[in-house]
Structure 1
């Protein structure tokens, strides 16, 4: 049995969700109804199993051995989120976190009927402890740091980096909501926004932030400086809980967090579905490739290509790399198609070791001057 709570009853799930809320500000935001969300329970009067959904993630908490509730979660997923009725229509994927590892076998059963397998991931959650540096000492020459306010957003106009626009659209649903409830700081170089640290969610005195740097401006210390400037603002604004989530495969983000004064609160696993089938298989292929599981990567990438009307160049290129690792001649075909569809990183192409056996082939792609 599963029941959807009315917003006025969200507080009834607070006890079961307390463990997740302690390190996921989005959960608190849903409970306090400062951010959109849905909550499903096994019992309205006294919940013991809870499925909560925020605009960022979905969460399973409480008793994982409740078969009737778990079957209800499967039904909810199939009739709502996976069918297009989403809390956040702008988000291209569904991420699921659990409060204890005991949920993982149950989650496998819940998702077993979905037509493509979930992507397993590993993240770290950090919590800010105390400042470790003055950002003004870390800012490289030629760069300035500014708050991302209404004036700066208007001045950027169409030049605003797409990643920032997407973060505001997906995470806040509108620029107005971001300006009212969120905050952000950016590094500028000759008027261009090249590094940014934005609030992902805020509720009361709690917030979570994230960072990104434009590729051509990395390794200059900008992420550290902009994050430290953002932390300074958070402390002045009275935030007492500042969280940071990042992938365990992102050493740059983890290093930035530690450098500015965050400490590791916990590692955790999550499961992701891309609502777009080709995109999901492409991401699954990338996951397997990074794990050196080349046969599995090749299989997933071929499905991505078969199910997409116009596969992007990076999918063909990654398929070529996987096939090359397996010494399959079709690697050259995929590589040629990657170049034909827009791949242009000739330096990378000429340095990857898996393509060494193919470089003397007259059909191996070469840059035309």
Structure 2
């Protein structure tokens, strides 16, 4: 049997998460900071779990990958119990990864379907010496960098506050909760938010990075400006940035390396149509 774990008990399974990687997104959900669901093989002594992250809109397999009972039951559980909830969330696919590299061969055996799509994700960590000496991107004429707050989002002078607001609400339950737990910066040009860098997940003193720039304003250095302000604020507060992006996202990877981040590891990401 596979059981759903109540939110107040999420923290009880932190110890089964593998330590090979930081797994910030997983730990943020288990700490109750970010929203998710958790399903375990046992309510008393869980060894393996499946975790859903609202912001990621995907799942993580965590704990013991050699749990044959759990592995044998998971497809039926997804079809009969999770499929409707996933579709209700507006998705038509089951996206997942493991909390360590040992999960890869197990997951590929469990989900041995021709429709299974495999890709790679990259996790970057900051090299503090390279960060100190990287070349910063100065402001252009008619541009400004602002810390994102409620006054900014509610300002009648800003032409597109929904650009930032909708992204915040993808990852966080409310604006108030975001401002309580996290922060972000944006670049404004002629009263339009053209780029932002916000926190997607928080665990202890580590903050993940989420960046977006309006398509018609890309390749102008705005992403770098917003991210530099974000990382500078983190370091001032004694915190650390965490960068996770798709292997195929060359723009994100190039920016990370330009700012002094180095590739720490890659991991497999899988997608299966429902």
- TM norm structure 2: 0.84
User: CA offsets, 1:261-284, max 9 Å, x none?
Assistant: 222111111013566xxxxxxxxx
**Separation in 2, partners of 1:157, 1:120:** 44
Q: In 2 relative to 1, CA 146–120 (structure 1 residues): closer, same or farther, beyond 3 Å?
A: same
- Larger gyration radius, structure 1 or structure 2: 1
5+ residue gaps, structure 2, are none
User: 1:133 offset after TM fit, Å?
Assistant: 5.1
Give yes or no for contact 1:2–1:68 (8 Å, CA) kept in 2.
no
| Equivalent residue, structure 1, for 2:116 | 118
Q: In 2 relative to 1, CA 108–23 (structure 1 residues): closer, same or farther, beyond 3 Å?
A: same
User: 1:166 offset after TM fit, Å?
Assistant: 3.4
Give yes or no for contact 1:135–1:225 (8 Å, CA) kept in 2.
no
User: 1:94 offset after TM fit, Å?
Assistant: 4.3
User: 1:157 offset after TM fit, Å?
Assistant: 8.4
Give yes or no for contact 1:61–1:99 (8 Å, CA) kept in 2.
yes
| Equivalent residue, structure 2, for 1:16 | 16
Q: Does 1:38 align with 2:33?
A: no
Give yes or no for contact 2:137–2:221 (8 Å, CA) kept in 1.
no
| Equivalent residue, structure 2, for 1:68 | 69
Give yes or no for contact 1:17–1:50 (8 Å, CA) kept in 2.
no
Give yes or no for contact 2:125–2:264 (8 Å, CA) kept in 1.
yes
**Separation in 1, partners of 2:190, 2:34:** 36
Secondary structure of 1:35's partner? Answer: coil
User: 1:212 offset after TM fit, Å?
Assistant: 1.6
Secondary structure of 2:187's partner? Answer: strand
**Separation in 2, partners of 1:107, 1:134:** 40
**More helix as a share of residues:** 1
| Equivalent residue, structure 1, for 2:47 | 48
**Separation in 1, partners of 2:97, 2:157:** 36
- Higher RCO by CA contacts (8 Å cutoff, separation 6 or greater): 2
Q: In 2 relative to 1, CA 137–177 (structure 1 residues): closer, same or farther, beyond 3 Å?
A: same
Q: In 2 relative to 1, CA 176–98 (structure 1 residues): closer, same or farther, beyond 3 Å?
A: same
Q: CA RMSD in A?
A: 2.9
Q: Does 1:83 align with 2:84?
A: yes
Give yes or no for contact 1:135–1:228 (8 Å, CA) kept in 2.
no
User: 1:12 offset after TM fit, Å?
Assistant: 3.4
What is the correspondence of 1:1-369 to structure 2 with a 5 Å cutoff?
Answer: 1-19=1-19, 22-55=21-54, 56=56, 57-84=58-85, 89=89, 94-111=94-111, 117-130=115-128, 131-132=131-132, 137-155=137-155, 159-160=159-160, 163-239=163-239, 241-273=240-272
**Separation in 2, partners of 1:253, 1:156:** 31
User: 1:232 offset after TM fit, Å?
Assistant: 0.9
- The alignment of Structure 1 onto Structure 2 pairs a total of residues equal to 270
User: 1:253 offset after TM fit, Å?
Assistant: 0.6
**Separation in 1, partners of 2:82, 2:163:** 24
**More strand as a share of residues:** 2
Q: In 2 relative to 1, CA 159–74 (structure 1 residues): closer, same or farther, beyond 3 Å?
A: farther
Q: In 2 relative to 1, CA 165–91 (structure 1 residues): closer, same or farther, beyond 3 Å?
A: farther
Q: In 2 relative to 1, CA 185–54 (structure 1 residues): closer, same or farther, beyond 3 Å?
A: same
User: 1:137 offset after TM fit, Å?
Assistant: 4.7
5+ residue gaps, structure 1, are 276-369
Moved over 6 A (4+): none
Give yes or no for contact 2:35–2:173 (8 Å, CA) kept in 1.
no
